[in-house]
Amino acid sequence: AAGVQDPSFVPGHVEAGSGTTEPQHYELRTLFQWLVDNVDLTRQVIFECGHGEGQVVVGGRRVLLQRMATWQLADGGLKLSVPLELQAEISGLLSTSRQRGRLEEAQVQRLAKAWELVGAEVVSATVGTPEPAIFLVHRESAQAVVVAQWPSIEFARCPTGGAGPLSAA
């Protein structure tokens, strides 16, 4: 055919998807975008787990769960729990991403380098049966961010109607 350099119907190069090459990056991006869209940062509870010990095994990895902050998620009683030391950083990331409407690729890359995504189950003392959970385990510190129905706590509005941090006993 006149002027056609490659008469084949098969393209030489095809791209699709989010532009993220690593499947783990895609999972992290999807999880964090869902958190951005669903977390209620106006109410939180601070709690202690593990009675000071706070060490558990998740997916064959040693994980530290100590003093944590938790926020409600919009779906089915789920909560986002983060180590208290990372509370400001994680809430800042979520707030900034919410204002922008998305998580930036550079943030996804940093998250993927620092955190490992692990699916597991948790058994709370009040429920007694295993429930699915997502753990983001920090590769160096072994601290974990947890998305689960755990912990079994109630969120309440401040008596004045304003939002503020609450502490669990």
For 62-105, write each residue's pLDDT tens digit: 898 889 999 999 967 899 999 999 999 999 999 999 999 888 88
Cβ contact 153:168 at 8 Å: yes
* Mean pLDDT to the nearest integer, 147-151: 89
Q: Are strands 39-48 and 165-167 parallel, antiparallel or unpaired?
A: parallel
**pTM, full prediction:** 0.75
Give the CA angle between residues 74, 46, 137 to the nearest 5°: 75
Can you point out the beta strands (E) in 39-127?
39-48, 55-58, 61-64, 67-73, 79-83, 115-122
Q: Write down the pLDDT at residue 2.
A: 57
Range in 7-16, 21-30, 49-58, 121-130 with the lowest mean pLDDT: 7-16
Q: Write down the pLDDT at residue 166.
A: 40
% the chain with pLDDT above 90: 46
Burial of 61 (0-12, 13-18, 19+ CB in 10 A): middle
Q: Write down the pLDDT at residue 34.
A: 94
- Domain residue limits, the chain: 23-154
- The answer, yes or no, to whether residue 16 has pLDDT greater than 70, is no
- The answer, yes or no, to whether residue 162 has pLDDT greater than 50, is no
Q: What is the pLDDT of residues 98-141, one digit of tens each?
A: 999 888 888 999 999 999 999 988 877 666 788 899 999 999 99
Q: What is the pLDDT of residues 37-47, one digit of tens each?
A: 999 999 999 99
Dist CA 142 CA 99 (whole Å): 30
